[in-house]
Structures are given as C-alpha cells and as structure tokens.
Amino acid sequence: MSVVKLPRVTLGHWPTPLHELPRLSATLGGPRLFVKRDDLTGLALGGNKCRKLEYILGDARQRGIDTLITSGSSQSNFALQMAAAGRRLGMEPYLILVRGIHSETQGNLLLHSILNSVVNILDVADPIEMFTTMPKRMNELADELRRQGRNPLVIPAGGTTPLGTAGWVNAAGEIAQQLREQKIDARYVVLTNGLGSTQAGLILGFKCLGLPIKVIGISVLNKKAAAIDLVVTQASETAGLLGLEVTVTPNEVTIYDDYIGQGYGIPTGECIAAIRLAAQTGGIFLDPVYTGKAMSGLIGLVNRGYFARGDTVLFIHTGGVAADFAYNEELSR
C-alpha cells in the first residue's frame, strides 16, 4: 500500500514497463541491466513529470485552478507535460521559458504550438536566471491573470515541489513490486539528477519500504555538493508533507557530477554515443539533455569497475525524447 494519500488525478498508465536490456549489458561486459520505462507513461511523449503532475494537479483541481504557469529552458520537458496535462484537465498553460541552444519550433516547442500553449521565451544573460528571476516573473504574471478573473497556479520549474516529489515516493513502491514479481534482485538504481526531486522521492520511498537499493544520480546541471543539498531538501520537505518519520542525510545521497560536460543542455560526445548504443542494443530512445547523460554516467561507472559482474542495475528512463528532434544536428552528425 502506498504511503502517499493525497488528492490525485490519473494522467498516466501504471505501472510503466520494466524490462531487461541483455544486449546492452553484453556489449558493456557489465552487470545485468534493466530499464524502467517512464518514457512510456502515456502523457504527451512520456517522462518523469507525469507522476509529479498527478499530485500537483490533483491538488490544483481541488482548489479550482483554471490556469497553469511554469518556467524552464526552451526545450523544458516539464513545461510540455504540464501543458498537455493542463489541456486535458481544462487548465490553460502559460510558459515563461529561457532561450536555450534550441529555441526553434522543433521538439517540445513544436508540440507547444500544437497545444496552443501561451509561450514567452526570454533572452537572459545566464541560464541560471531560470531559477532566480523566474519565480518573480511568474508571480507577476499570476497577479495579472488574477486581475483578469483567472485562478492561476504557479508551479516551480521541473515540478520541484513536495507534491511532485510525492509522485516518485509512490514510484518506489511500484518499482519494488515489479522487482519482487519479476524476481529481480536489483541493488542499484541509476537515473538523471536535474533538480533532484525524482531522486529524492525514490530514496525516500525505498527507505520507507526498508529496501537496500542504492539510488545513484548522474547530475546534468549542478556540482555534487549543490545537487546533494537539493535532494536532501526535497526529501525532508516531502517527508514532512507525507508525515513520514524518515529522514535522508547527505551521506545517503550518491551523485556523480563528472558527466555534465560543458554545461546543462550541451550534449557531450559520451552522451551522443550512449544514445546511439541504447538505441542500437535495446531499441530505446534516450535524449540529449537528461537520459543520454545519465546513460553515459552508467556506462562510465561500468567501465571503471564500479559494479560487480553479478550485480543488477535498474536504469530509470525519465523521458525527454521530444528534444531529440530539436537536437537533430548534434544527433545526426
């Protein structure tokens, strides 16, 4: 039974599949590898935000929200998922995005034009403004919409809130059940770490269940210390929301920050190679911003002998595939 008892709207099809990647494992000469397919949630083109949105919008629906506002990079996957969910529930999506390296009408932005999302793309000196000046801009927009008689909700970038993280506490239970049913003794989970909410939810969820699974985050944005801080904060705020007597300490959070390359949203050579390898050995598509880098981290850890041959590792596919079309030049080079 789930520890998460909060208002929820169903936006995805659960459980998402969990299957083995034997050819990837054989090619790497590494541990047994499995993948949890949250790219197949069924909302828009899939991804880790669907689980977050089920609780964020469950709460919003109870409060009579009719307009959703978020921010992010121009190819933000959360913005797309939020917009698609909003359209399904009759809540109009407003986006304040920061111009990234791909702001053409491609990938997620192409899908926004089909959804008729209200998109405002800003030129900022430093992409970090996404997290500094954006909350203020979103609140100003919300005030303006309230004056027009709307009831808007501002959702922080990436759905990084305790309600969103609760979706991934719940996912830990779903994964535990699949591992049990399929008799898979996975000791490691590897996933992308962006703003840390997905990793925080999984660590908290596995801890509540008493499962000794190590959750390894491959950072695509922050250096290790800052990334650990974000995970600990999300885990503790979410434990508070859910009334859990469980804490997550910094030494329980494992993050690798050596696969970021030049920066957020700039694919490394290893990321492109990992995307090709996952497709050519497993028939699955990763993305150039998040999951490609996470897979390059998993491959890096296998190559440096981090896992024993007999270990079993579960990779979480957190989605993002729409961005492949925006990054067509980098991917087809």
Ligand X SMILES: Cc1ncc(COP(=O)(O)O)c(C=O)c1O
Binding site for ligand X (CB under 6 A): 47-48, 77-78, 158, 160, 192-199, 287, 290-291, 318-320
Shortest reach from residue 291's CB to ligand X, in Å: 6
Catalytic residue among 76, 197, 219, 236: 76
CA distance 73 to 96: 9
Q: State which residue, 30 or 47, has the beta carbon closest to ligand X.
A: 47
Tell me, what DSSP letter sits at residue 47?
B
Q: State which residue, 149 or 160, has the beta carbon closest to ligand X.
A: 160
**DSSP H stretches of helix in 148-188:** 162-181
* Token representation of residue 189: 């989970």
Shortest reach from residue 29's CB to ligand X, in Å: 27
Shortest reach from residue 79's CB to ligand X, in Å: 9
Burial of 118 (0-12, 13-18, 19+ CB in 10 A): middle
The greatest distance separating any two alpha carbons of the chain, rounded to the nearest whole angstrom, comes to 61
Q: State which residue, 48 or 170, has the beta carbon closest to ligand X.
A: 48
Examine the residue annotation and report whether 71 is marked as an active-site residue of this protein.
Answer: no
Shortest reach from residue 216's CB to ligand X, in Å: 13
Q: State which residue, 91 or 200, has the beta carbon closest to ligand X.
A: 200
Shortest reach from residue 263's CB to ligand X, in Å: 15
CA distance 41 to 231: 24
CA distance 267 to 327: 9
Q: Which of 239, 214, 197, 182 is nearest to 48 (CA)?
A: 197
Q: State which residue, 26 or 226, has the beta carbon closest to ligand X.
A: 226
**DSSP H stretches of helix in 121-268:** 129-132, 134-147, 162-181, 197-209, 224-242
**Annotated catalytic sites, by residue?**
76
